[in-house]
Structure 1
Amino acid sequence: MVKRILHEIKEYKAAAFLTPFFMILEVAMEMYILRLVGDLVSEGVEKGDLSAIYKIGAMMLISAAVGLFGGIMGAVFGSKASAGLAKNLRKSMFENIQTFSFENIDKFSTAGLVTRLTTDVTNIQNAFIMILRMGFRAPVTVISAMILSFTISPKIASIFLVAMILLLIVMAFVMTKARPLFDTLFKKYDALNASVQENITGMRVVKAYVREDYEKSKFKEGSGGIYNFATAAEKMVVFTMPFMTSVVYTCIVLISWFGAKFIVIDKTLETGDLLSLYGYCMSMLMSLMFFAMIFIMVTMSIASMQRIYEVLEEKTAITNGDDPIYEVPDGSIQFKDVVFGYNKTAEKPVLDHINLEIKSGETIGILGGTGSAKTTLVSMISRLYDVDEGQVLIGGHNVKDYDVETVRNQVSVVLQNNVLFSGTIAENLRWGDKEASDEDIKRAARLACADEFIEKFPDGYNTHIEQGGTNVSGGQRQRLCIARALLKKPKILILDDSTSAVDTATDTSIRRAFREEIPGTTKLIIAQRISSVMDSDRIIVMDDGKIDDFGTHEELLARNEIYRDIYQQQTGAGSGDFDKEDQEGGADIG
């Protein structure tokens, strides 16, 4: 996991290597200055040697300047390396997310992915710069101070050694206890972000149903959960701070006690050496306190690293074969004994042994109750999901044999939830074809019956669309999405209940335009209104993941109970006429 994360340093490797080099240079100068302080007292002050004071003072100034340079350069390169790592992590994660199939996306919530791209990456960035700077500085300081202390007084240096061992044991213990709390904390962040996102995108509904107080209460509960776990985790980690402070003061007292004894009674230590030992003690223990800060950041970042690693290593479930096909011959569609389920362990599949054949250029209506798997059926065509069993063929070839981009460019889908992006109307339509001319855009808008309202805007096709298309009506948004899909000039066009927000007259005009202007395109229209599909060449009736019937409007009206019930409910037609028809038919046969 760590190796995969650090792989993203890439072009910032030099900065990452130079940071610890300059930090070690800074430490070396600090340790040398502490040694010079002792020499200044022993060789200069106590002996009254003014030339020695000048000489040692000059060396201290030079050492301080070199150390300052090392610290500044370490900060510069450390910031560059950590910010670069964060940039590359976000880029790699985002690029990998773009390859995800719907099956992959289903594993991660939208809020969870946003948290990983923001909060989790920031945690790693902060931890990385701490490791590059303090992570190298602290151990080198401790080791250098320990070695120099032993050269002056092994007995006093032993105090440092015992203190350091105690601190390391405590920090290791706290880390093992704190990490599970941070894991849970980030899941709480995901849940809170999901709640906020849901509230903001559904603000109109919240206000329409006067649910502000409920949403406030839900947010307060989620925020409170984060507070509780963050407090528990921080309490666990902060416990090390008073312990470390106690160790620092204990060391100072012991050094003072034994140092005074060695100077006054035993005559084995000089005053300058004691000053150096004080300096080494403070440097060593302060470095350990910095190390505790690193330990806090690393504890948090381990949980973040795991979450980012999951996204980076997630492999798309839908890939190209060894020798993919890059051209779709026509818009014919076949389903051969197709079985599919979102949950592979479920007892019953969502699509249950589907067999279907559609000719190129046909207009096919798809009708069925909620949960009958209409949307799932058409998702198989553009490989938004792959079948579990059986085959889906386009143009006589298995969709798995095609290049994925080729299939999706030739199968244009207008989804049930229409999405527009911030930008002009023209920019949104050019999602269908970035090279489309102004005339192409206008033609697509005309086919989708969108030109009539676009031209009424003061800026026409340069009218700005807010994120999500919030400044246009639901029907206008649907027509813009249809126009965008038509710009791809697909061989197969799928409308997933995409005219539900337009009036019946506009719906009829759109279908007439399709029939007259793009006769060679295979059109699949999922609808709740029977008027939207009744003039299709044939109509699929879905029921509980199966094809209940497939035929023309007249054939289904005569023989299919589900279709007949929907027709009667939506048109108000009485059953008496059908009974009469059946009786007349029976008399003719007899």
Structure 2
Amino acid sequence: MIKLLRFMKPYRWLVAGVLAAVFFQSLAELYLPTLTADIVDRGVVYGDTPYIWRVGGLMLLVAASGGVCAVLASLWSAKAAGGFARDVRNRLFAHAETFSLGEFDKIGTASLITRTTNDITQVYNVLTIMMRVVVMAPMMCIGGIVMAVSRDATLSLVIVAIVPVLAGFMVFVFRKGGPLFRSLQTKLDKLSLVLREHLTGIRVIRSFNRTAYEQERFDDANRDLTATAVRVNRIMAFVMPVMVLVMNAAAIAIIWFGGIRIEAGRMQVGDLIAFIQYSWQIMFALMFASMMFVMIPRAAASAARINEVLDMKPGIRDEAGGSGAAEAKPSVEFRNVTFRYPGAEMPALSGITFKANAGEVTAIIGGTGSGKSTLLHLIPRFYDAEEGEVLVSGVNVRQMTQEELRARIGLVPQKAVLFTGTIAENIRYGKEDATDEEVRHAADVAQATEFISEMKDGFDSPISQGGTNVSGGQKQRLSIARALVRKPGIYLFDDSFSALDYKTDAKLREALRTETKDAAVIIVAQRVSTIMDADRIIVLDEGRIVGEGTHKELLQTSAVYREIVASQLSEEEIA
């Protein structure tokens, strides 16, 4: 948790203000019992009314000053802790943006969401309180003991006996609670994961009548989290009664022995009243400290999880010095590329070599799991090749900044992703400053204008979260329009026509021919009809190239391609 405190540096003056305000608040509270004792011993006992009014007025002034300091301390601590939480949240999000897909796979999306929200909130809550308690607790405890001893050193032995008991109890709670709080955050991750999978996969779950199974999964994760939370809360519930019991026992002992000392003439009534107040201040200071000891383990666990993300180095980073000069014409080239996913025994791609030139359409086809999408993901550096080189416009992608590389590419992913906002805003996601004319032209080419014009507000029609108010084919066409409006030199289509009917597919490919005539186009497809007219077709099987050529050439030379064609087309269509 200490490592995270570097984010408090911009708020050091606010923190200093909190500490100063708490210091003066503590002084005021320590002074009030002395004034109470003076009123009783000198004002009440001797019937000195003017003295009572005078000291009482001073007490009101001291109490008001302490109240003002308390308000300022609360305000400034909230501002400092809130700014800290905002900065850490921004830093965590920005750092996660630099991760490759490998880091996302390692941590998990659900865990990243929990760390960015719940974990930071836990640290924020502790900091808000700690800035006040870190001064108040020791000052009230030590100051209270000093003031109590000054009133009666002998009676202070009661406090001396009680303090070690409370300190030992706090250490016990800290040791018991720490591991449980760390476990609690991990189980919260698991619950978030199950909930996220349920909400995003609701259509699949209902279509297969797996609602009861998913409910059982959620119940198991929920019960596991609840069981840990109950164990934590048992400790929390145990803390307060024990603290109150000890404090009341101390109060009884002080009144008992204090009464004996008053009867013996060794102590005044006002001193006993002040002594009781000081003892309560000491006990409350210890109670606040114990609350911190209960909260700190959870915050420490959360801070460790936050630091784990911040300390994680991105697997893909821009090399110093930037890229060299690129070729005038866009192209993509693979030179003996091999890639395996982290932890995998077998490579997903082996010995891949080919070149996609400007003005050509290069298609990639193969069975499920043959490595088609993986190959495409190496071009924008979602992953880095284990061996060999991937070149864009003649430059190794490792020698280009990620921003520069991806600015050259228009990617249409396998799963069409839309964002909340209007249709125009989703298309402009590809080019922020695109004009209305450019947006409409991209929609025309993507065969999306017809269904857009039928919507109530046209291009200003809203897209709901996840694009649930448009069909799968409409999502794909909007995703294609988003890539087209960018006007990149390289287009990557990852099975982006699968949800389109054959008529729309044919019209879209015809329109793309004209639109992308100067670009390098790579299409990953499952349907043979989509890629029959490609200038070059690459056939993948188990991560290797087993065929390369035109449709007619591959029918003669590639058994794997003939198998794929035969499974999709009739003999008349093949002929």
Whichever residue aligns with residue 393 of structure 2, its letter is G
Provide, for residues 159-212 of structure 1, a one-character-per-residue CA deviation record: whole Å limited to 9, x for no partner: 223322221222122212211111111121112112222222222233333333
Q: Distance in 1 between matches of 2:9 and 2:406?
A: 33
User: Is residue 43–residue 52 contact of structure 2 (8 Å, CA) maintained in 1?
Assistant: yes
CA contact (8 A) 2:352 2:544 kept: yes
Separation of aligned partners in 1, 2:202 and 2:102: 28
Distance 1:315 1:491 in 2: 31
* Residue 92 of structure 1: how far off its partner (Å): 1.5
Following TM superposition, by how much is the alpha carbon of 1:382 offset from its aligned partner in structure 2, in angstroms? 0.7
Shift of 1:294: 1.8
Instruction: Write the mapping of 1:57-76 to structure 2, written as runs, cut at 5 A.
Output: 57-76=56-75
Provide, for residues 222-252 of structure 1, a one-character-per-residue CA deviation record: whole Å limited to 9, x for no partner: 2211110101122134333232222212211
User: Which one-letter code corresponds to 1:58 in the other structure?
Assistant: G
**Distance in 1 separating the partners of 2:9 and 2:500:** 51
Contact 2:420 2:462 in 1 (8 A): yes
Partner of 1:46: 45
Structure 2: gaps (5+ residues): none
**1:460-471 maps to which residues of 2 (within 5 A)?**
460-471=458-469
Question: Which residue is 1:556 aligned to?
Answer: 554
Task: Please give the secondary structure, in 2, of the residue aligned with 1:536.
Answer: coil
Cα 1:293/1:326, change in 2 over 3 Å? farther
- Return the letter of the residue paired with 1:151: S
Match of 2:413 among 415, 420, 429: 415
- Residue 324 of structure 1 corresponds to 322
Comparing 130-139 with 200-209, greater Cα deviation is found at 200-209
Residues 252-308 of structure 1: per-residue CA shift (max 9 Å, x gap): 12212221222223x322221111110011111122112222222212111111111
Which residue of structure 2 aligns with residue 7 of structure 1?
A: 6
Instruction: Give 1:322 deviation, angstroms.
Output: 1.5
> Structure 1 vs Structure 2: percent identity of aligned residues?
37
Distance in 1 between the 2:502 and 2:301 partners?
Answer: 53
**Aligned pairs for 1:528-543 within 5 A:** 528-543=526-541
Name the stretch that deviates more: 498-507 or 345-354.
Answer: 345-354
Partner of 2:380: 382
Q: How far apart are the structure 1 equivalents of 2:157 and 2:356?
A: 85
Matches of 2:445 and 2:521 in 1, distance apart? 14
Q: 2:470 aligns with which of 457, 469, 472?
A: 472
Report the secondary structure of 1:317's partner residue: coil
Task: Kindly indicate whether the alpha-carbon contact (under 8 Å) linking 1:328 and 1:406 is maintained by their aligned counterparts in 2.
Answer: no
The residue that corresponds to 1:98 in the other structure is 97
- How far apart, CA to CA, are the structure 1 residues paired with 2:57 and 2:450? 84
In the other structure, the counterpart of 1:113 is: 112
1:474-523 deviations in Å (ceiling 9; x for gaps): 00100100010111111111111111000112112222222222211111
Match of 1:503 in 2: 501
- 2:28 aligns with 29
Q: Which residue of 2 aligns with 1:362?
A: 360
Residue 308 (1) aligns with residue 293 (2): no
Contact between 1:103 and 1:317, CA under 8 Å: does it hold in 2?
Answer: yes
What letter corresponds to residue 361 of structure 1 in structure 2? Answer: G
2:130 is the alignment partner of 1:131: yes
Aligned equivalent of 2:517: 519
Contact 2:173 2:294 in 1 (8 A): no
Mapped to 2, the partners of 1:301 and 1:365 lie a distance apart of 52
Residues 356 and 522 in structure 2, CA contact (< 8 A), matched pair in contact too: no
TM-score, structure 2 normalization: 0.96
User: Conserved in 1, the CA contact under 8 Å of 2:364 and 2:539?
Assistant: yes
Equivalences for 1:331-350 in 2 at 5 Å? 331-343=330-342, 345-350=343-348
- Cα distance, 1:328 vs. partner? 4.2
Number of the residue aligned with 1:485 = 483
**SS at 1:435's partner residue?**
coil
Match of 1:294 in 2: 292
- Aligned residue for 1:454? 452
Show the 5 A alignment for 1:569-580. 569-573=567-571
Relative distance call for 1:326 and 1:2 in structure 2 (3 A) is farther
Residue type at the aligned position of 1:500: S
CA contact (8 A) 2:362 2:538 kept: yes
- The counterpart of 1:272, out of the listed 239, 255, 270, is 270
Mapping for residues 163-202 of structure 1, pairs under 5 Å: 163-202=162-201
Which ranges of 4 or more aligned residues in structure 1 deviate by more than 6 Å?
none
Q: Deviations over 1:105-159 (max 9, x none)?
A: 1122222122112211211111111101233222211111011112222232232
CA deviation map 1:358-406 (0-9, x unaligned): 2233211111111111111111111111112221111111101112111
Distance in 2, Cα, partners of 1:331 & 1:382:
14
2:542 is equivalent to residue 544 of structure 1: yes
Residue 448 (structure 1) shift: 1.2
SS of corresponding position for 1:197: helix
1:242-281 counterparts in 2 under 5 A? 242-265=241-264, 267-281=265-279
In 2, Cα distance between equivalents of 1:342 and 1:161? 63
1:436 is aligned, of 414, 434, 437, to: 434
The aligned length equals 574
Contact 2:25 2:67 in 1 (8 A): yes
TM-score w.r.t. length of structure 1: 0.93
Q: Please name the residue that 2:142 is paired with.
A: 143
Whether the 8 Å CA contact 2:324–2:399 is kept in 1: the answer is no
Alignment partners' CA distance in 2, 1:269 and 1:548 = 101
2:337 touches 2:349 (CA, 8 Å); kept in 1? Answer: yes
Using the TM superposition, give the Cα deviation of residue 455 of structure 1 relative to its aligned residue in structure 2, in angstroms.
Answer: 2.0
Judge which range, 302-311 or 273-282, deviates more.
302-311
Distance apart, 1:10 and its partner CA: 4.6
Partner of 1:81: 80
